[in-house]
Amino acid sequence: MRVGYLGPAGTFSQQALNESLQLAGLGDDAERVPLATAHDVVSAVQDGLVDRAIVPIENSVEGGVNEVIDALVHDAPDVAIIGEYVLAINPCLIVREGTALSEIATVYSHPQPLAQCASYLRRELPDASLQPSNSTAAAVAQVLASDQPVAALASPAAAEQNGAVVIAESVADHELLATRFIWLSRDPLDATAQEQAGKSAILFSGAGDGAPGWLLDCLSEFANRSVNLTRIESRPARLELGQYIFLIDIDGRVDVPGPAADALAGLAAHCEQVRVLGSYAV
């Protein structure tokens, strides 16, 4: 089995991949395929270049990872979410050996850690330039390739694997920092009638979204059946200004008979588009 993840080696995505594969007892059977961007990871599943993949979808501080969400919504119609894994995140400030904190002129990282550590960076490195990278491990590679006093925000594993030095540990602005990763596949997992427990991810849109109460009517299909809504957000529909696609996560599987499936059928009556992004056990 070929498994894609946001590389190179040493990213938090690789850590989530390794830990979740170990829990599933598949650690020795998977060929790990590092990819340059999160969009590339989703596309690799869509194009059949990998059998499965893991990508970050939501962070406890910065919310949804828009690059992944938009790739799923607009560019990967055949990709399904088949599982999730929550990873505790501990970004560290990483430099070449011999670089002092006071010398650092530029900090590289993926946009998420740059935002998660914003208060620390303003306090400790107020004059440093913040530069986004494709991944945290790629940021460490940029540090090692530079002859300037620069730093990266990345995992301790990224520093260890690349011969860099952790100059400050756990520099996130919030003590409890976690990222939810999702597993992707072109083949949704089969369910039985006994597997109502779980989660489902759904997107929906419709011409009625400009009418008062339309969204309330849509969500009432779940509330009226005591189906818990755990997350909601909107993304541009990419049709015209003011049109949106709504994405929700709910408790319960919609691929087996039960209240969640009934709510999904009720939702369809209000919408022009309803798509199940995934229904899976947790």
Q: How many CB atoms lie within 10 A of CB 205?
A: 22
DSSP type of residue 37:
S
**Mean pLDDT of the 31-46 span:** 95
Which tops the pLDDT comparison, 162 or 200? 200
- 16 domain-assigned: yes
Residues 163, 207, single domain; the answer is: no
CA distances from 183 to 34, 37, 186, 188, 225 (A): 15, 16, 11, 11, 28
Candidates 265, 272, 260, 270; CA nearest to 201 is 260
Where residue 209 falls among pLDDT bands split at 50, 70, 90? low
The secondary structure of residue 227, as a DSSP letter, is P
The span from the CA of 50 to the CA of 256, in Å, is: 28
Instruction: Clarify whether residues 79 and 98 are in a common domain.
Output: no
Same domain, 39 and 21: yes
Q: Is residue 59 part of a domain?
A: yes
* Domain annotation covers residue 260: yes
Looking at the fold, whether 81 and 107 belong to one and the same domain comes out as no
Supply the range of the domain harboring residue 242.
199-280
pLDDT value of residue 211: 76
CATH code: domain of residue 70? 3.40.190.10
- As given in the structure block, the two tokens for residue 136 are 């945290």
The set of residues, in sequence order, having a beta carbon less than 8 Å from that of 33 and lying 6+ positions away, is 2, 3, 4, 5, 44, 49, 50
What are the tens digits of pLDDT across the range 254-272? 999 999 999 999 999 999 9
d(CA 178, CA 87): 6
Where does 25-172 have alpha helices with state H? 38-46, 66-70, 111-116, 118-124, 136-145, 156-162
Region 230-255: what's the mean pLDDT?
91
Total domains, the chain: 3
173 inside domain: no
Residues 7 and 64 in one domain: yes
Q: Transcribe 57-79 into DSSP letters.
A: EEETTTEE-HHHHHIIIII-TT-
